[in-house]
Amino acid sequence: MTTDEHAISRDLTARVSALLAEHDPTTTGPQEFLGARFDAGLAWVHFPEGHGGLGLSQNYQAQVNTQLVDAAAPEPALRRNGIGLGMAAPTIATYGTEEQKQQFLRPLFTGEHIYCQLFSEPGAGSDLAAVATRAVRDGDSWIINGQKVWTSSAHNAQIAILIARTDPAVSKHAGLTYFLCEMNDPGIDVRPLRQITGEAEFNEVFLTDVRIPDANRLGDEGGGWRVATTTLNNERVAIGSGAPREGGMIGKVAAAWREQPELRTPTMHDELMRLWVDAEVARLTGERLRQQLAAGQPGPEGAGMKLAFARLAQTVSGFDVELQAETGLRYDDWTLRRPDHVDFTGREAGYRYLRAKGNSIEGGTSEILRNVIAERVLSLPPEHRADKNIAWKDLAR
């Protein structure tokens, strides 16, 4: 470390110590503690001062997190509010006005506001730029009408990140605008979508004459695609590169292997070792990617991490079922649940196997991500797109 880095590290240690001294984690409620952490600039140290950060490199966040974990301090609800913390927060920090940052970032970090993502639509699944939900200007507000689908946690959310079409007379990428939508509007109807697991963590959302103030527009009118790309890049990094060593699906399988030696065979041993190495390669690649992105916004490289995560999770969950033999497919609870967070690795092997099937769809389909990697990472010739320069209203649908 350089002299300056040592000085920053010492300053952060002092700030964390002061936070813990003034707000004892054993006696301070989680929401109050997280609010104090935000105010101290220790929520996201790379965010601007006054908005949960100190304007430092993201590399210093690990030091803060370690000190707070060691002190058993309350942590932000990452599992319950992954969309808010992993996707909305960095987008608001990048494109939000000072007023928007003041209004939205603190309650997001403390968990007062749970977020959902109103992006995908029934007629525009993989082609996000083709969304048809319409936003029409009405004075200082926008009137929104349309339908969204595959919306995780919409039944628990207070705020949604929403893209809608504000100008159908231009090309599909150019006519979109990004909004922060309050989910308590009476024109919003959230309906459960029952999944193969029996749960309904996903929803379809109908918007009828929903009114959003222009003050909740994030970025420029017509600039929604650029803002949404920032959100998607953050989403893919968050999904694809967050597991610790032997975390996620491989951790479940490794634990079963150690605890149930009667399940082992030489063939399965070789397969498990191969999968363990693949998981470790993915973990280290994700760590390197996070370090590369510490000084800037995530780029298209995150698509590779998310693609690898989906492939690995599905392969490992299949191995998990095979390892468990006749008990692997047991899955007794088919009641319609409305969970408050997405649990990729929860419950029994049969559940994990079924839930993993969605990994290649959520956060961008594997097919689309391969295109992103080919065109934006490897610089291969792009696919021909006949609709690229045609007004959205003139496209066949």
- How would DSSP label each residue in 123-171? TBSS-GGG---EEEEETTEEEEEEEE-S-TTTTT-SEEEEEEES-TTSB
Which contiguous run of DSSP H or E holds residue 276?
Answer: helix 266-292
Among 341-345, 347-351, 373-377, 388-392, which is the least confidently predicted range? 341-345
Tokens of 110: 């403390």
What are the CA-CA distances from residue 191 to residues 147, 153, 230, 262 (Å)? 11, 11, 28, 45
What CATH number is associated with residue 346? 1.20.140.10
Tell whether 60 is covered by a domain.
yes
Task: Pick the closest to residue 135 from 239, 43, 233, 207 (CA basis).
Answer: 207
Task: Pick the closest to residue 163 from 93, 231, 215 (CA basis).
Answer: 231
For the chain, the 3-state helix, strand and coil shares in percent, each to the nearest 5, are: 45, 15, 40
> Of 50, 75, 100, which marks where a domain is finished?
75
Tell whether 368 is covered by a domain.
yes
Residue 375 has pLDDT above 60, yes or no: yes
Contacts of residue 331, Cβ cutoff 8 Å, sequence gap at least 6: 348, 350, 351, 354
Computed on alpha carbons and rounded to an integer, the radius of gyration of the chain in Å comes to 22
Among 133-142, 226-235, 303-312, 329-338, which is the least confidently predicted range? 329-338
Contacts of residue 270, Cβ cutoff 8 Å, sequence gap at least 6: none
Q: pLDDT for 26-61, tens place per residue?
A: 999 999 999 999 999 999 999 999 999 999 988 899
Residue 293 has pLDDT above 80, yes or no: no
Do the Cβ atoms of 53 and 41 come closer than 8 Å? yes
Average pLDDT over residues 261-268: 86
Average pLDDT over residues 103-115: 97
Which pLDDT value is given to residue 296?
57
pLDDT band at 369 (very low <50, low <70, confident <90, very high): confident
Beta strands in the chain (DSSP E): 115-118, 134-138, 141-148, 159-165, 176-182, 188-193, 202-213, 217-218
Q: Which of 126-140, 239-253, 348-362 has the highest mean pLDDT?
A: 126-140
Supply the range of the domain harboring residue 314: 227-377
CA–CA separation, 234 vs 237, rounded Å? 5
Residue 203, SS3 per DSSP: strand
Residue 243 has pLDDT above 70, yes or no: no
CA–CA separation, 149 vs 360, rounded Å? 16
Do the Cβ atoms of 134 and 357 come closer than 8 Å? no
Burial class (CB in 10 A: 0-12, 13-18, 19+), 132: middle
pLDDT band at 295 (very low <50, low <70, confident <90, very high): low
Tokens of 303: 């698509």
Task: Pick the closest to residue 371 from 178, 162, 128 (CA basis).
Answer: 128
Residue 241 has pLDDT above 60, yes or no: no
Residue 294 has pLDDT above 60, yes or no: no
Structural domain total, the chain: 2
Between 234 and 272, the more confident residue is 272
Tell whether 32 is covered by a domain.
yes
Which pLDDT value is given to residue 298?
60
Tell whether 269 is covered by a domain.
yes
Measured over the CA atoms of residue 310, residue 148, residue 83 and residue 230, the dihedral's sign is positive
Instruction: Output DSSP code: residue 40.
Output: T
What are the CA-CA distances from residue 37 to residues 45, 83, 162, 216 (Å)? 11, 20, 28, 25
Which pLDDT value is given to residue 292?
63
Which pLDDT value is given to residue 176?
97
pLDDT band at 71 (very low <50, low <70, confident <90, very high): very high
Q: What percent of the chain has pLDDT over 70?
A: 94
Q: pLDDT for 326-345, tens place per residue?
A: 788 777 677 777 887 777 78
235 is catalytic: yes
Which pLDDT value is given to residue 318?
94
CA–CA separation, 325 vs 267, rounded Å? 14
- As a whole number, the mean pLDDT across the chain is 89
> Of 75, 102, 134, which marks where a domain is finished?
75
Tell whether 154 is covered by a domain.
no
Which pLDDT value is given to residue 96?
97
- Tell me the sheet residues that pair with 148: 205
> Of 25, 48, 75, which marks where a domain is finished?
75
- Tell me the sheet residues that pair with 189: 206
Please report how many Cα atoms fall inside a 13 Å half-sphere around the Cα of residue 190, on the Cβ side. Answer: 23
Do the Cβ atoms of 284 and 241 come closer than 8 Å? no
Residue 363 has pLDDT above 80, yes or no: no
Tell whether 221 is covered by a domain.
no
**What is the per-residue DSSP string for 166-194?**
S-TTSBTTTTEEEEEEETT-TTEEEEEE-
Residue of 235, 301, 348, 362 marked active site: 235
Tell whether 2 is covered by a domain.
yes
Residue 335, SS3 per DSSP: coil
Tell whether 345 is covered by a domain.
yes
Measured over the CA atoms of residue 334, residue 336, residue 337 and residue 338, the dihedral's sign is positive
Between 175 and 378, the more confident residue is 175
Which pLDDT value is given to residue 336?
75
Between 216 and 383, the more confident residue is 216
Do the Cβ atoms of 312 and 278 come closer than 8 Å? yes
pLDDT band at 174 (very low <50, low <70, confident <90, very high): very high
pTM for the full predicted model:
0.89
Task: Pick the closest to residue 112 from 71, 50, 154, 159 (CA basis).
Answer: 159
